[in-house]
Structure 1
């Protein structure tokens, strides 16, 4: 087996996912650009290759059982999985989602991508990850997942997003359970908070995606014996 590690990043054709791929590629990883739109994935991979990074596109819709299985077949090894793909769902004025008027179809759509999608992809990729000498899984979460911060009136957590925020809390809980189940296997799995990132997702508000990629990249390249089942940002551990 080659010493070159392979990393799959979902939702990597632009924004945060692209910068995570670029950062891992710059560190010597071969990066698989997971993208729903194959043409956009190919374009992103081509751009990375022009920068000297070993990159290739993997068509991947995290909400599709068949699509995920087909994506597995495009990989010959996997050392790092970054579950980055996510959606906010429809929002109202002020980028808010009022729990008293939520459309359940919106909730289902966000849960399907942000939670079920992560479980679907992770479980499908686990056989490959188990073959890696140092497997790592990073689930891209958010500070709005923190129930401690959300329930503290002294902490500024932004607008109420009653469809999106709970999916990230759910994702954190799932991350903890994966860590418990995979204890002793060498697989380290953590939730990463990139902060508010200036992407299409946020309408351009926030810090540059390249800066926000730092924590996911750090968790994707942890040494053996590093933390697992943790929720972290640039400054350290975030309260649940």
Structure 2
């Protein structure tokens, strides 16, 4: 089975993705900005200190991890339900972009040498229907714009990495009962959508946007 790194793996969907992948026989590396918090919940999984918003942290983690088949870009922040685009604090928007978009981007770039050496590589970007241009309306500007950007990055990387056999997809886990989205469906269901993309066959889709294995509108 594959070696998989999950960013933001110390809580919520990321932690459940780690658990499901481990149960399915994958070797899981739990990435956590706070390594102590990661170790507290890891349950025997390998933990690596990884702050996706920090270039040096990402480069250090890439140096520590010798081989990798799967990168799950899960780390995300700032579901800004209180904000509107017309009055948004742009410093706050910049903070969201640094983790939700640039964090996934820099982490993918750092681990691409590892992924290119694998025969069955996957990049899974944990996105949100909030980033769908087709369904977007007002509100949550920082989060929505950052996830729309992540979706665009997914399309670009999928096209560029297709010749290397690397599948790149965006996954919306749905409104899920986590710290960020309380009151949604069970976290196990949201995480299962992500695991589905990790375990796609080599001839599976790439450059898509999915929830529960079904395409979503970009």
How many positions carry a matched residue from both structures?
Answer: 218
Does residue 15 of structure 2 align to residue 36 of structure 1?
A: no
Does residue 83 of structure 2 align to residue 88 of structure 1?
A: no
Does residue 148 of structure 2 align to residue 163 of structure 1?
A: no
Deviations 1:136-187 (A, max 9, x none): 0100000111111125xxxxxxx71111101111100010000111122110
Does residue 128 of structure 2 align to residue 142 of structure 1?
A: yes
The equivalent of 2:20 in structure 1 is 23
Tell whether the 8 Å contact from 1:179 to 1:229 is kept in structure 2 after alignment.
yes
Q: Pick the aligned partner of 1:124 from 104, 110, 116.
A: 110
Unaligned runs of 5+ in 1: 50-54, 152-158
The equivalent of 1:231 in structure 2 is 209
- State which structure, 1 or 2, has the greater radius of gyration over its C-alpha atoms: 1
Structure 1 moving runs of 4+ over 6 Å:
none
The equivalent of 2:53 in structure 1 is 63
The equivalent of 1:214 in structure 2 is 192
Measure, in 2, the Cα distance between the counterparts of 1:81 and 1:123. Answer: 11
Unaligned runs of 5+ in 2: none
Does residue 176 of structure 2 align to residue 197 of structure 1?
A: yes
SS of 1:200's partner is coil
Measure, in 2, the Cα distance between the counterparts of 1:183 and 1:9. Answer: 22
Measure, in 2, the Cα distance between the counterparts of 1:205 and 1:123. Answer: 35
The equivalent of 1:154 in structure 2 is none
Q: CA offset at residue 114 of structure 1?
A: 0.4
TM-score where L is the length of structure 1: 0.88
Q: Superposition RMSD on alpha carbons, in Å?
A: 1.2
Measure, in 2, the Cα distance between the counterparts of 1:84 and 1:172. Answer: 13
The equivalent of 1:155 in structure 2 is none
